[in-house]
Amino acid sequence: MRQEADIHPKEEISEEAASCNACKACAPLGACLAFRGIEGCLPMLHGSQGCATYIRRYLISHFREPMDIASSNFSEETTIFGGNRNFNTGIDNIISQYHPQVIAIASTCLAETIGEDVNRLIYEYKSMKEPDTEMVFASTPSYGGTHYEGFHQAVFATVKTFADKNGDVGRHINLFSNLISPEDIRHLKEIIGDFGIEAMLFPDYSDTLDSVSWETYRRIPEGGTGLAALRRSGMALLSVELGNIIPVKQSAGEYLRDSLDVPLKRTGIPIGIRETDRFFDLLAEVSSTAVPEKYVRQRGRLIDLYVDGHKYVSGKRAVIYGEEDLVVALTAFAVEIGITPVLCASGGESGRLRETLKATLGERFSEEMMIVQGMTFEQMEETITARNLQPDLFIGNSKGYYIARKLDIPLVRTGFPIHDRIGAAHRLSVGYAGATRLFEEIVNTLLEEKQRKSEVGWKYM
């Protein structure tokens, strides 16, 4: 694990030669997830079959939905002489069997290691075949980043490929929603609709990865952000990105700002009252309307809930982990409700986690918080024990369950992945409604733990 600038200066955490149970997944996985937010799209990995199989299984276990991912199926010969033939055969098979509007290609470690020029392969294929199918490519070697970086690299590549400036600036905005649940995406669309804002939300996998029950199998599910909307993103009034740590060289919003003159504004992922207030204030400014009464009342009920449950969470200690922007949002929420974060950890290595937490929390930031990037779950367990952090709660994805079980500490599952429970696609965290659900789950988890460990069968709290 690196000792980045965002690790507290007092901490001395040794370097390790290998990563054991990393607090992250691979970059092509994140790219495939983002690509499922394009309408009529089939993701393809340029690399070995094993990568596609692993990613399909990993995403299916979280979303409980079919996840077709094509592969150019590298062999030993391909690795030595290049994957041109495999690439062309793979594209031919995809078009003949799936008839997609878009083939979204992500590279794997193997393709990147041998220096495959995928953009050249796409150009040559189009020159030979002149397909009606659109293609987009994201460079996503896993040795160069995490699933979170792969996700944002795919978002950037998609916007760069399709955004167009031919026309006058419209009245719509672009909303880049970050790596959140399908239920979160649906709620964001509801919110911007209630403000009367026309928006292109991308990536939108709220239907493609959380669909209805089908009578017959659909190789490409309905839903996603359409190509026409993506092309219009270059003529938007404004881009809004949710997240302050987007660990790629250039984000989609930055590309539109720098290349197509589309203004950009950012807020954190809106979890909790303060972060949701910032997001709603921005929407009110964009729409020139007041916050709808519906959300004023949601906010009021949430404050009332905070009052009701404060005595159960006040002073509790939490370990919070996951993607960097999610860690920032969850930490801000934890501090807001009276929980003390004792360890904020991420497998990402942007080097910006501490400074972003400082900026987000302001006067509520505590130098006593351990803030660590590049962390593995093995190191997390060692740190909790060695530093005697004594957490009352874990907040993060299901990969931390074995530590929570070993230390006999309850886990509130949120983020990605959640492989040991159903309903991950339906978990709502954003907005006042999402904070309500999350607060209730945290309080009830603590109450259940208190009951479980009590010698008295408490029925009244």
Does the residue 321 lie in any domain?
yes
235 and 214 part of one domain: yes
Are 216 and 318 members of one domain? no
Task: Tell me, yes or no, whether 21 lies in a domain.
Answer: no
Please count the structural domains in the chain. 3
Residues 186 and 67 in one domain: no
Q: Which of 147, 165, 182 is the last residue of a domain?
A: 147
Q: What is the pTM of this model?
A: 0.93
SS3 of residue 370 by DSSP: strand
Is residue 339 located within the same domain as residue 281? no
The residue out of 287, 308, 342 marking a domain boundary is 287
Instruction: Give yes or no: residues 361 and 253 share one domain.
Output: no
**Which is more confidently placed, 216 or 290?**
290
Residue 156 CB contacts under 8 Å (≥ 6 apart), including other chains: 138, 248, 250, 251, 252, 255
**Residue 88, Cβ density class (10 Å: 0-12 exposed, 13-18 middle, ≥19 buried):** middle
For 418, other C-beta atoms within 10 Å of its C-beta total 22
Based on the domain organization, do 137 and 280 belong to the same domain? no
Residues 95 and 128 in one domain: yes
Q: Is there a domain that residue 317 lies in? A: yes
pLDDT, tens digit (0-9, with 9 covering 90-100), for 226-261: 999 999 999 999 999 999 999 999 999 999 999 999
Q: How confident is the model at residue 419 (pLDDT cuts 50, 70, 90)?
A: very high
Map residue 26 onto helix, strand or coil: coil
| Lookup result for tokens 């460079």 | 139
Tell whether 8 is covered by a domain: no
- Residue 169, C-beta contacts closer than 8 angstroms, at least 6 positions apart: 235, 236, 237
- Judge if 99 and 185 occupy the same domain: no
Q: Is residue 11 part of a domain?
A: no
- Where does a domain end: 287, 315, 340? 287
State residue 47 phi and psi, 5-degree precision. Answer: 165, -155
312 and 420 inside one domain: yes
In this structure, the answer to whether residues 361 and 233 fall within a common structural domain is no
pLDDT in tens, 264-296: 999 999 999 999 999 999 999 999 999 999 999
What per-residue confidence (pLDDT) applies to 346?
A: 96
Q: What is the CATH number of the domain that holds 138?
A: 3.40.50.1980
Residue 458: band (very low, low, confident or very high) from pLDDT cuts 50, 70, 90? confident
* Residue 104, domain extent: 27-147
> Does 84 fall in a domain?
yes
User: Are the C-beta atoms of residues 117 and 83 closer than 8 Å to each other?
Assistant: no
Tokens 């690790």 found at: 7
